[in-house]
Structure 1
Amino acid sequence: MRKDSRLSRMLHILVHMEQMEEAATSDHIAKILNTNPVVVRRTMGCLRDQGYVTSVKGHGGGWRLNVALQDISLLDIHNALGESSVFTIGLSDENTQCLIEKAVNREIGAALKASEDFLLTRFAEVTLDKLNWAKT
Structure 2
Amino acid sequence: MKSNSQLSDVLHVLLHMAEGDGPATSEALAAAMRTNPVVLRRLMGGLREAGFVASAKGHGGGWVLSCPLERITLRDVHEALGGPAFVSLGFREDRPQCLVAQAVNASLGAAVQEAEALLLKRLGAVTLAALSQDFHHRLAQHRAGAPHRLEEHLHAD
Which residue is 1:33 aligned to? 33
Q: TM-score normalised to the size of structure 2? A: 0.83
Is the Cα contact below 8 Å between 1:17 and 1:64 reproduced in 2? yes
Paired amino acid for 1:98: C
Is the Cα contact below 8 Å between 2:55 and 2:61 reproduced in 1? yes
Query: How far apart, in 2, do the equivalents of 1:41 and 1:64 lie?
Result: 13
Q: Which runs of 4+ in 1 moved over 2 A?
A: none
Cα displacement (A) at 1:90 = 2.1
CA deviations over 1:51-79 (Å, ceiling 9, x no partner): 10000111111000001111100110000
Which residue is 1:48 aligned to? 48
Is the Cα contact below 8 Å between 1:15 and 1:129 reproduced in 2? no
Q: TM-score normalised to the size of structure 1? A: 0.95
Query: How far apart, in 2, do the equivalents of 1:114 and 1:74 lie?
Result: 18
Q: For residues 54-73 of structure 1, what are the structure 2 equivalents within 5 Å? A: 54-73=54-73
Q: What residue ranges of structure 2 are gaps of 5+ in the alignment?
A: 139-157
Which residue is 1:16 aligned to? 16
CA deviations over 1:61-106 (Å, ceiling 9, x no partner): 1000001111100110000000232111121111111111111001
Query: How far apart, in 2, do the equivalents of 1:82 and 1:135 lie?
Result: 31
Q: For residues 1-136 of structure 1, what are the structure 2 equivalents within 5 Å? A: 1-132=1-132, 133-134=135-136
CA deviations over 1:16-65 (Å, ceiling 9, x no partner): 11110110100001111111000011111111111100001111110000
Greater length-normalized contact order (CA 8 Å, ≥ 6 residues apart): 1
Count of matched residue pairs: 136
Q: What residue ranges of structure 1 are gaps of 5+ in the alignment?
A: none
Q: Aligned to 2:58, what secondary structure does the other structure show?
A: coil
Is the Cα contact below 8 Å between 2:12 and 2:33 reproduced in 1? no
